[in-house]
Amino acid sequence: MGWILDLYADVDEIRAYGQTIVYTVHENVGHLGIFVSGGSAKKEHAEFSSNIDLIDVLPPGLYEATFEAKGADTTNADLAVGQCVMRCEKRSLDDIRAMGGNSPEDERRFATAKRVSEINLAAYQKFIQPWIKGLVTPQMAESMRNRHPLRMQYEVFSSQNPLMSAAKSLAEQATENRKPVSKDNPFLVLQEQFSKQIVHALDSWRDSQEALSEAIFLNVYGSPAVQAAVGIDPQSEPSRRQEMSAKYREMLQARIAELKSRVDQGGLREAAVRGLLYVGSVRGMVDERSLEALRKLRRNETSGRLTLPQFKSLVREQFFMLLLDPEAALAAIPKLLPNNVDDRHAAFDAIREVLSASAAISGEAASRLQRVAELFGVNTNENSETASNVAPFDSKARAS
């Protein structure tokens, strides 16, 4: 994931571009296994697809998705969709650096390989490709494609080969008359030994080929002479990160000024989301159970329901307001609240319910929640059951 370091200086720059990056790591599955491994597909892929809304409403930043198997002691396990609980935990660029990455020497090797590839492609397109196009017809190209060794090695044993029709009938007969043999059958023992020898030979061949390919790559593209020949400074430290353009920076400053000017605009919904973000941010993670609790509250709304894109925009705006000037954003909450005490109670109960869906509210989170209660004018010791039937984010309760 070194591309993150190549593109951004820090997490604030990720947020400045409005980007939300969510990654996950696996202890023993490589990049190919992520796409073809059955075990990973059953776990990570299913969890990601079932929690796409959680990812979609995350405030801009860098997050690591973690998965914890549900158990008997899992809090509100019914709110988690799959077999695991998915969390998106805040991360910094230092977390990416700690995973390791390419050294400057490796970066120069890859830059050299790229330059050599570009030179070869340009030479081919200029000197060879016109001749190939003139000599090879589409029919010849199709015939060459069909007779490629990698394709032929499969097709020669397929039903497309007339000579294999006999093998097909023999295979069907063998399947119908198959009889298991005892484990001490000498032919079965010989088969197992021969199979293990084949596997060992293939593994050894693969390892030797990979070691040879790596050695060739490191020595050829790591050669200062080759690097200098293609225009790569052997002493340079390649970096692809581009500085933020002046035009974008100007647009960003205008957006910051706009958000600051609107910090005291809105109603109960804006106040509730702002309070929820203020308390939840201290945990450094977002849990799928909290989102499911929020969904349940949303389903109880009788009017003025936001669409997902509208809610996403609302969350981002309130997040940036808290990020830019947290004290001013908190101080403005009372101005957003309606006079109706029941509506305030319902909104605060909704905040508390969403926060407690994933874990007990304690420590700094409890202190922040108490501050939000004071801003909402709510006595946390009171029984707020009488307000539980009031839609917490009802647009009718918005301040005028």
Say what the pLDDT of residue 399 is. 36
Same domain, 360 and 257: yes
pLDDT in tens, 48-99: 666 777 888 888 999 998 888 877 777 777 777 767 788 889 999 999 999 8
Radius of gyration of the chain (CA): 31
Q: Is residue 269 part of a domain?
A: yes
Q: Is residue 65 part of a domain?
A: yes
Q: Is residue 235 part of a domain?
A: no
Best CA proximity match to 352, nearest among 308, 322, 387, 324: 387
Say what the pLDDT of residue 43 is. 59
Same domain, 121 and 89: no
Give yes or no for a contact between 318 and 249, defined as CB atoms under 8 angstroms apart.
no
Among left, alpha and beta (phi > 0; psi -120 to 50; other), residue 266 is left
How much is the average pLDDT of 368-372?
Answer: 94
Same domain, 253 and 387: yes
pLDDT in tens, 121-132: 999 999 999 999
Where among 229, 261, 292 does a domain terminate? 229
pLDDT over 70 for what percent of the chain? 86
Give yes or no for a contact between 22 and 86, defined as CB atoms under 8 angstroms apart.
no
Where among 229, 264, 281 does a domain terminate? 229
Distance CA(43)–CA(165), nearest Å, equals 41
The answer for residues whose C-beta is within 8 angstroms of residue 311's C-beta and 6 or more apart is 57
Q: Which of residues 34 and 6 earns the better pLDDT score?
A: 6
Same domain, 224 and 201: yes
| Residue 83 belongs to domain spanning | 2-97
Q: Is residue 237 part of a domain?
A: no
Same domain, 93 and 108: no
Would you say residue 383 has pLDDT above 50?
no
Q: Is residue 236 part of a domain?
A: no
Say what the pLDDT of residue 29 is. 63
The answer for residues whose C-beta is within 8 angstroms of residue 237's C-beta and 6 or more apart is 104, 107
Give the residue carrying structure tokens 């609302």: 314
| pLDDT band, residue 375 (cuts 50/70/90) | very high
Say what the pLDDT of residue 155 is. 84
Same domain, 55 and 177: no
Q: Give the least confident one: 25-29, 251-255, 258-262, 361-365.
A: 25-29
Q: Is residue 218 part of a domain?
A: yes
From the centroid of its chain, how far is CA 172? 46
Same domain, 63 and 123: no
Say what the pLDDT of residue 104 is. 84
Say what the pLDDT of residue 388 is. 39
pLDDT over 90 for what percent of the chain? 46
Best CA proximity match to 115, nearest among 209, 238, 215, 210: 238
Distance CA(173)–CA(171), nearest Å, equals 5
Would you say residue 115 has pLDDT above 90?
yes
**DSSP code, position 45:** I
Q: Give the least confident one: 35-49, 188-202, 270-284, 332-346.
A: 35-49
Would you say residue 154 has pLDDT above 90?
no
Q: What is the mean pLDDT of the chain?
A: 84
Q: What angle do CA 105, 111, 115 make, to 5 degrees?
A: 145
Same domain, 169 and 207: yes
Would you say residue 156 has pLDDT above 80?
yes
Neighbours of 340 (CB within 10 A): 14
pLDDT in tens, 7-46: 898 999 999 999 999 998 876 666 555 555 555 555 566 6
Same domain, 29 and 144: no
Strand order across the beta sheet in which 285-287 lies: 20-23, 61-69, 84-90, 285-287
Q: Is residue 52 part of a domain?
A: yes
Where among 81, 97, 113 does a domain terminate? 97
Query: How many structural domains are present in the chain?
Result: 3
The answer for residues whose C-beta is within 8 angstroms of residue 64's C-beta and 6 or more apart is 22, 23, 24, 25, 88, 89, 91, 95
At 122, which helix (H) or strand (E)? Answer: helix 104-123
Q: Which of residues 82 and 106 earns the better pLDDT score?
A: 106
The answer for residues whose C-beta is within 8 angstroms of residue 76's C-beta and 6 or more apart is 289, 293, 357, 358
Say what the pLDDT of residue 295 is. 74
Q: Is residue 9 part of a domain?
A: yes
27-53 burial, b for 16+ CB within 10 Å, e for fewer? eeeeeeeeeebeebeebbeebbeebeb
Say what the pLDDT of residue 160 is. 80
The answer for residues whose C-beta is within 8 angstroms of residue 177's C-beta and 6 or more apart is none
Say what the pLDDT of residue 44 is. 63
Say what the pLDDT of residue 34 is. 56
Say what the pLDDT of residue 393 is. 39
| pLDDT band, residue 374 (cuts 50/70/90) | very high
DSSP 133-195: HHH--HHHHHHHHHT-HHHHHHHTTSTTSGGGHHHHHHHHHHHHT-----TT-HHHHHHHHHH
Same domain, 215 and 274: no
Same domain, 255 and 352: yes
At 13, which helix (H) or strand (E)? Answer: helix 11-16
Question: Which range, 51-65, 74-88, 183-197, 228-242, has the best average confidence (pLDDT)?
Answer: 183-197
**DSSP code, position 77:** G
| pLDDT band, residue 238 (cuts 50/70/90) | low
Distance CA(201)–CA(194), nearest Å, equals 10
Say what the pLDDT of residue 163 is. 83
Say what the pLDDT of residue 273 is. 92
**DSSP code, position 234:** T
**DSSP code, position 243:** P
Same domain, 119 and 206: yes
pLDDT in tens, 267-306: 999 999 999 999 999 998 888 888 777 777 666 665 567 7
